[in-house]
Structure 1
Amino acid sequence: MRLRRSRCLTCYWHEGEFVVHPHPHGTPTALHPVAAEVLSAFEEWRTPREAAGGLGHLTPDTVEEAVAALTDAGALLSEGGEAAHRDELIAGQWGAWTPEASFFHYATSDVYDTERSGDSPDTPADVTGDAGTGALPPLFTSHPRAPRLLLPRRPAELRMPYGQVLFDRRTHRDFTGAPVKSDTLAALLAAVFGPVDFIDCGRGALYRRTSPQGGSRQEIDAYVGVLDVEGLPSGWYHYDGLLHGLELLSEGFTPDEAVHLCADQSWAARPAFFVVLAARLERMGVKYPTPRAYRVCLLDAGHLGQTFALTATALGLGPAQTGAFRDTEVAARCGLDGTGRVPLYVLAAGHPDPAPLDAPPAAGVDAFGTTVLAAP
């Protein structure tokens, strides 16, 4: 029988052990590091005897034992088998996203059907706060030493009919350059990121926002990069939802820097302000110990991004968003440590240009003539 290394395979060190983790068909298995050498001999279809010929420094018993363990784990696949066929399909479908994206997706799939030291959707994690101090993380992030500007608490004028907001919502890349009023920014931040009410979760109070959030953990914080807002110096701020204020973290912010932070996208020079959504992971981790919870953090950022876009539209602003940004530099600008506090999503807004240059034209006959709308 000929065997081949799984194309969907990640190996790593965890808690002092070398782990071979095929996905999605295999089982994460701790093995001796020599398993990596044995796997390298099965880059293409080979019999165990053929592979052993290139592993002369290992004894036949060692190779035989490793091959058996790797086959049981799903890291070595049998030629013509269903697992090998699916492995090739997944590797082809995920393409350039492999191994990072495919591993994340499959390694966090069906976690409730696998045994993981007591993990369940409602099992509290072993860690209970900052640096294992036993203290639960605070509901709100604050920077008490930063200069603070309290924002006006005027309710947002969100009287535009919902249907109009929904269908008027578009991603904007062209803006007039006119400054945004601070009242408008304040209304937007309060409506999207401020607390709506507080609930008792059994271990203390939590709060809810206008967007759904996993377990009401509210692990997403908002950091605001101001380019052109009336009454606000350019710079980077943290939005304190508890006090409805902006905390100045660093002064100065230019359109050129915005373009650089957004991976050299030229449109980033034109919005009036940016909002970085950053996850404070401990807030989610204290309740959900499974790595699948990181998926929920990404979904939570998406929920907030959509509410931001709809609210900005209702306020007469043009929303924008991007997943293309320089993580490390954005984190540094926002004062994030890049470990337990990480940026996930970048939003922006400004006054939309009524005659945008970058807007795509409506699809016409020619476009539909080259489009496959449905399978034959």
Structure 2
Amino acid sequence: MRLRRSRCLTCYWHDSAFVVHPHPHGTPTALHPAAAEILAAFEEWSTPDEAAGHLDHLTPDTVEDAVEALVRSGALLAHGSAAAQLDERIAGQWGAWMPEASFFHYATQDVYDSPQAVDPSGEERDAGAAGSPGPERESLPPLFTGYPDAPRLLLPRGPAGLGAPFEQVLYDRRTHRDFTGAPVSLETLATLLATVFGPVDFIDCGRGALYRRTSPQGGSRQEIDAYVGVLGVSGLAPGWYHYNGLQHALELLSEGLTPAEAARLCADQSWAARPAFLVVLAARLERMSVKYPTPRAYRVCLLDAGHLGQTFALTATALGLGPAQTGAFRDSAVAGRCGLDNTGHTPLYVLAAGHPAAAPQDAPPPAGLPAFGATALLDGRP
């Protein structure tokens, strides 16, 4: 029997054990670290005897036992097997994203271990009688993040100004990269922050209160905090602020922000120097993990950031602003400017907005006949 190391394989140390974790077809298995050397002998299709010839410093029994364990785990695949064919297809499809993206995707697939049931809507069900304290009550993290020692500006609570028809807002929404440079009013920024990130109402989950926003959020955990990088907002000095949704206030964390720095933080994208402000969405992971201890819940954090990003884009459009968003940013530098530890409190997404330019220079042209002629619109069609 010829065997080969799975291409979809990650090895790591966990709880003092060396773990071999093939995905998606295998089982995480704790083995002696020598297993890594044995796996290397099966980089290409080989028989156990051929591989043992490269491992003459190990006893034949050691090699045989390790090979059996690696086959059982799925780390070694048999030539022509269905698992080997799947392994080849995944390696071909995920390509440059391997191993990080493929491992996260498949290692968290098909399982969602949770101590509590969840409604199909994603909202948390009551754990018991309304108002009844639960065993986790003492350890639950606070609902809101606050910086009590930071200088605080209470934001205006004026009319929302969101009367534009929904259909108009939906179809007018576009990602903008060109802005006029005119400052955004403090009232407009306040409306945007309150609408997207402020609480709408509070619910009793059985172990205490949770709150809901205008965006769906997994289990109503609201683990995403908003940090605002001000470049051009009337009445606000440039710098980094935290939006305190409970008090509807901005808390100054660090002074100063230049267009050049904004572009550098956004992975040297020149457009990021032009909006009136940036908004960093940062996950406070304990709010999610205290209820959902499965690693799959990190997927939900990413989805939650996307929900907030879409609501931000629509709300900014309704307010006459041009929204933008990017997943390309310098994580560590952004975390540092926002005062995040980048471990339990880490940035996930960067949003932006400003007054859109009347004639954007970076807008793509409409697709014409040449573009459609060079595009495959359907599978199996010329």
For structure 2, the residue ranges without an aligned partner over 5 or more in a row are 119-123, 128-134
Show the counterpart of 1:101. 101
Matched positions, count: 366
Show the counterpart of 1:374. 378
Show the counterpart of 1:249. 253
Distance 2:176 2:200 in 1: 28
Show the counterpart of 1:284. 288
What value does the CA root-mean-square deviation take over the aligned residues? 1.5
Tell me the CA shift for residue 374 of structure 1: 1.1
Contact 2:230 2:236 in 1 (8 A): yes
Distance 1:13 1:153 in 2: 51
Show the counterpart of 1:15. 15
Q: For 2:211, which of 204, 207, 213 is the aligned residue?
A: 207
Contact 1:149 1:246 in 2 (8 A): yes
Residues 119, 47 of structure 1: alpha-carbon distance in 2 compared, 3 angstrom cutoff: farther
Contact 1:151 1:246 in 2 (8 A): yes
1:24 matched to 2:24: yes
1:225 matched to 2:229: yes
Residues 167-220 of structure 1: CA distance to partner in whole angstroms, max 9, x if unpaired? 000000000000000000000000000000000000000000000000000000
Contact 1:119 1:290 in 2 (8 A): no
SS at the partner of 1:138?
Answer: coil
SS at the partner of 1:238?
Answer: strand
Distance 1:352 1:72 in 2: 59
Contact 2:321 2:354 in 1 (8 A): yes
Contact 2:136 2:207 in 1 (8 A): no
SS at the partner of 1:296?
Answer: helix
1:310 matched to 2:314: yes
Contact 2:22 2:73 in 1 (8 A): yes
Distance 1:369 1:111 in 2: 43
Distance 1:361 1:99 in 2: 36
Tell me the CA shift for residue 120 of structure 1: 6.1
Distance 1:109 1:16 in 2: 25
Show the counterpart of 2:363. 359
Tell me the CA shift for residue 155 of structure 1: 3.0
Show the counterpart of 1:326. 330
Contact 1:154 1:183 in 2 (8 A): yes
Distance 2:311 2:270 in 1: 25
Contact 2:183 2:234 in 1 (8 A): yes
1:272 matched to 2:248: no
SS at the partner of 2:139?
Answer: coil
Tell me the CA shift for residue 96 of structure 1: 0.2
Distance 2:234 2:369 in 1: 45
Q: For 1:262, which of 266, 289, 292 is the aligned residue?
A: 266
Contact 2:162 2:318 in 1 (8 A): yes
Show the counterpart of 2:131. none
Residue identity in the other structure for 2:45: W
Residue identity in the other structure for 1:7: R
Show the counterpart of 1:142. 146
Distance 2:17 2:136 in 1: 25
Matches within 5 A, 1:145-160: 145-160=149-164
Residues 201-248 of structure 1: CA distance to partner in whole angstroms, max 9, x if unpaired? 000000000000000000000000000000000000000000000000
Tell me the CA shift for residue 348 of structure 1: 0.1
Residue identity in the other structure for 1:260: R
Show the counterpart of 2:46. 46
Contact 1:121 1:288 in 2 (8 A): no
Tell me the CA shift for residue 121 of structure 1: 5.3
Percent identity over the alignment is 78
Show the counterpart of 1:188. 192
SS at the partner of 1:50?
Answer: helix
Distance 1:363 1:128 in 2: 56
Matches within 5 A, 1:57-206: 57-112=57-112, 134-206=138-210
Tell me the CA shift for residue 111 of structure 1: 1.0
TM score, norm. by length of structure 1 = 0.95
SS at the partner of 2:227?
Answer: strand
Residue identity in the other structure for 1:288: Y
Distance 1:372 1:189 in 2: 41
Residues 255-277 of structure 1: CA distance to partner in whole angstroms, max 9, x if unpaired? 00001000000001100000000
Residues 264-298 of structure 1: CA distance to partner in whole angstroms, max 9, x if unpaired? 00001100000000000000011001000000000
Show the counterpart of 1:238. 242
